[in-house]
Amino acid sequence: MEAGIEAYGAYVPIYRLAREEIARVWGAGTLGGEKAVANSDEDSLTMGVAAAMDCLKGFDRKSVDGLYFASTSAPYREKQSASIMSAALDLRREAFTADFCNSLGAGASAMKAAFDAVKAGSAERVLVVASDCRLPPPNSAFEQLLGDGAAALLIGKERVIAEVRGHHAMSSDFLDIWRRERGDKYMRAWEDRFIMEKGYMAHVREAVKGVLERCGTAAGDISRAAYYGPDPRSHRAMAKQLGLEPRQVQEPMFDVLGNTGAAFFMMLLVAAMEEAAEGESLLAVSYGDGADAWVFHMTDGSDALGERRGVKGHLTSKMALPSYGRYLRFRDLMEWEGTPLPPPESSDNVFYRESRALYRGYGQRCVACGHIQFPPQRICMWCQVPDRFEDVRIVDKRGKLFTFSLDERAVFALDLPNVLVIVDLEGGGRIYSQATDRDPKKLKVGMEMEFTFRKFHEGSGFHNYSWKLQPVRC
């Protein structure tokens, strides 16, 4: 069997910011609806981990031979993000990791590389993750348009749910949106009509025409078209340019999600696969420094894939960001009042010694008494027997909230109140940690909790990632 898509997953942050609130602050018009906004402890890497975990449900993670991460907003400019993600997902150390960066077309590049690797036999399975958390300039058109999110696809040959029928790509040096290495905090863009007509429209048409010719098919034969669009108007105009009927166009979700950059076309593809039936043909198109287009054929394997939150599930699970001021705080877009306390410090040595616990999420089970403990230690806190433990990954487990505390005056917490929780894990074990993505008014003892990979703070010049707890998202 040829390489195809074996599984999919997605992630949308729980917070939404109403566009009317943005417009109210600046006295501007509104596009209507809302956009997804990453929490203060989220970035493109943590969102990518969440999408990948959604994708890998039911699969042996040790069977993944590679992880390709695509983003225009990776947390490091010189440090691979895919290696951190691989550790959080507990993939094999031998799994090949690579970052695809600096272009809206990065997700398509990662997909193409994954299909080629599997087709060539250098890998059996490759996980492709695209995620973006771009920072739009305040009081700009981008501020209302851009949203945050991630998608993941597992590429392989065994349990294929979407077969590749054809692919066509073209590259271009066309300058439309860019951000320089030095001096640019926000993205820059050229004149709107020029970049739409000479860039987006022309490139996507060329890529779609090429893939349809290779497949020997016509636009009318496509069941669902999941294609990138910079904004709602351009997306609608592209449908007419491609000869697509409204029923064929996958809902672009501008009014509930926003444009998620390098992850956008993959999120639309995931949304299309969530609704597609066996035998349907899907068109997926990416744009950025050229364009890539695929035609996929849905097989009967999707029925056996199992339930995922995907795009649909995450969109229905949401909380309103109460104000634009909270958004400014999350993105650190102002100069804030100082504090007499010193800034947080971190130790790279600690992360080196404890990476199996902090990144991979492993606790330990005492061989003598069977109790699970976290964080790992030499002496069992139950039976006091030393050095007789076996590793157990706890972050795949759920638990029930035993007790919690709320701190309204936590100095470095951006999403007040700071919530600390003690959770009893299924199968044994109790953990104390910080809670995120929670409504303090709805917290109650006994509610179900799950783990999520997040930033704890910025200290000593690097990002401190580890696991927090959150109420289970339905």
Alpha helices by DSSP H, 95-171 = 106-120, 141-145
Out of 77-81, 189-193, 203-207, 358-362, least confident range? 189-193
- DSSP readout, 187-241? -EE--HHHIIIIIIIHHHHHHHHHHHHHHT--GGG-SEEEE--SSHHHHHHHHHH
Question: What is the reported pLDDT for 335?
Answer: 85
Instruction: Give the pLDDT mean for 142-163.
Output: 96
C-alpha 167/C-alpha 318 separation (Å) is 36
Tokens 């997953």 correspond to what residue? 9
**Domain chopping of the chain, boundaries:** 4-331, 348-471
Question: What is the reported pLDDT for 414?
Answer: 85
Q: 158 phi and psi, to 5 degrees? A: -85, -60
Q: 388 phi and psi, to 5 degrees? A: -130, 75
Q: Which structure tokens are listed for 327?
A: 């958004």
Between helix 264-275 and helix 106-120 the angle, nearest 10°, is 60
Highest mean pLDDT among 64-78, 329-343, 449-463: 64-78
CATH superfamily, domain 4-331, is Thiolase/Chalcone synthase (3.40.47.10)
Per-residue pLDDT reduced to its tens digit, 312-328:
999 999 999 989 999 99
Decide: 370 and 428 in contact? Cβ < 8 Å: yes
Tell me the residue ranges of DSSP E strands in 60-95. 66-71
- How many CA within 13 A on the CB side of residue 59? 31
Task: Specify the 3-state DSSP secondary structure of 45.
Answer: helix
C-alpha 280/C-alpha 226 separation (Å) is 13
Task: Specify the 3-state DSSP secondary structure of 55.
Answer: helix
C-beta atoms surrounding 2 within 10 Å: 11
Identify residue 262 by its one-letter amino acid code: A
428 vs 413 pLDDT, higher one? 428
pLDDT category at 473 given cuts 50, 70, 90 is very high
Percent of the chain with pLDDT over 70: 100
Per-residue pLDDT reduced to its tens digit, 371-427:
999 999 999 999 999 999 999 999 999 999 999 999 998 877 888 899 999 999 999
Identify residue 356 by its one-letter amino acid code: R
b (16+ CB within 10 A) / e for 192-220: eeebbeebbbebbbbbbebbbeebebebe
Question: What is the reported pLDDT for 38?
Answer: 98
Whether residue 376 is preceded by a cis peptide bond, meaning omega within 30 degrees of 0, is no
pTM: 0.96
Instruction: Give the pLDDT mean for 348-358.
Output: 88
Q: Which structure tokens are listed for 19?
A: 């566009």
Residue in 95, 97, 5, 6 with CA at minimum distance from that of residue 48: 97
Whole-number mean pLDDT of the chain? 94
Question: What is the reported pLDDT for 1?
Answer: 67
Residue in 113, 186, 192, 157 with CA at minimum distance from that of residue 4: 157
